[in-house]
Amino acid sequence: MLKKIFGSKLFKFTLSAVLIYFAFKKVDIRNLFNEITRIPLWFVVVNVLISFFLVFLISFRWSLLLFHKTKIKTVLIFTRASFLAAFYSLFFPTAVAGDVLKWMVIDNKYPELPKTRVLGSVILDRFIGFSMFVFLGLISAIIGKQTGLIIPSYVYYLLIVFNIVCFFIYFIIYFFDVSKLLPKVTFLHKLDDAFDLLKDKNKGQIIRCLLVSIISELIWICQMWFVAWKFGTSLGILLVFVFMPIISMILILPISIGGFGAREQLFLFFFSQFSKSNESVLLMSTFVGILGIFNSLFGGMLSFFDHETRDRLKK
């Protein structure tokens, strides 16, 4: 019962509204809106292009799990799947629905690939991305503590626990042949093709995916600092490097619509003590949120040309 309540769209929408109210109640909303409308076009275009490039990199990472030698055309197909999933995730109650849609698009484009293998690549790619999030989060937390930044102890220890779990999983993957062990379990036997991704011949691909993740995360952090600089938050790149991975890791939790409300509260919690004003921090947060929505809407534009996916969703 509680799972249904906390996972419902109504709960997320209500929580987002409450969090947004408390985040913006002490600032001049009219002035904030005017600042948003005065954002230079070049700044918007540059950030949209960076965001698109990051989606391309993440899609490239995903494609590496299924193809040892991937081509630009292949990566573009995976990129389209990622944009479509981002759009439809705006309407589905959980992020899992977006992953299922990504699987549907690739399964339709590459019918020669086993369905369970494609699904396994989606799950493994999400784990790789998450593990890099928590790794950078822990590194940033350690740097933050060494430089005297205030980081809640529960966040610090939670990052340690997540990293231990991720390290343990990677240890199992690299030193044991999971593809031979797990399928022996009766209910996992049908997932042989998915576990094939963990065979020795594919472990090099996982390392390549981790390297792509590092590059994409560093570009993303630099982009966040660029946004912070533009809105006059006076945040140094070290502060952004320390706190953004932590904020993003918390935002993975499906507690609000598009992260709105939760994002603003987290930005204020971590950045307000170092910024000139709460208004500049909220401007940064709002712009980042709008940028994410724009990426999702771009996926909506692509969906108009994707009749096959729409037909499968209707079924």
Q: What is the mean pLDDT of residues 147-173?
A: 84
Confidence of residue 79 (pLDDT cuts 50, 70, 90): very high
At CA 122, angle to CA 180 and CA 207, rounded to 5? 65
Largest CA distance in the chain: 63
* % of the chain beyond a pLDDT of 70: 74
CA dihedral 124, 127, 132, 138 (to 10 degrees): -150
> What does the alpha-carbon distance between residue 210 and residue 196 come to, in Å, rounded to a whole number?
18
> What does the alpha-carbon distance between residue 32 and residue 289 come to, in Å, rounded to a whole number?
14
SS3 of 252, please? coil
Each residue's pLDDT tens digit, 223-266: 999 999 988 888 888 888 888 887 887 777 666 666 677 788 88
**194: exposed, middle or buried (Cβ count in 10 Å: 0-12, 13-18, 19+):** buried
pTM of the model: 0.83
Confidence of residue 2 (pLDDT cuts 50, 70, 90): very low
Each residue's pLDDT tens digit, 100-153: 778 788 888 888 888 888 888 888 888 898 888 888 888 888 888 888 777 778
> What does the alpha-carbon distance between residue 40 and residue 184 come to, in Å, rounded to a whole number?
59
Confidence of residue 91 (pLDDT cuts 50, 70, 90): low
DSSP 175-190: HS-HHHHGGGSGGGGG
* Non-local CB neighbours of 137 within 8 Å, separated by 6+ positions: 159, 162, 245, 246, 248, 249
CA distances from residue 172 to 9, 191, 201, 220 in whole angstroms, order as listed = 37, 18, 15, 30
The count of residues in the chain is 315
Task: Of 103, 65, 69, give the one whose Cα is nearest residue 84.
Answer: 103
Per-residue pLDDT at 54: 94
> What does the alpha-carbon distance between residue 234 and residue 243 come to, in Å, rounded to a whole number?
14
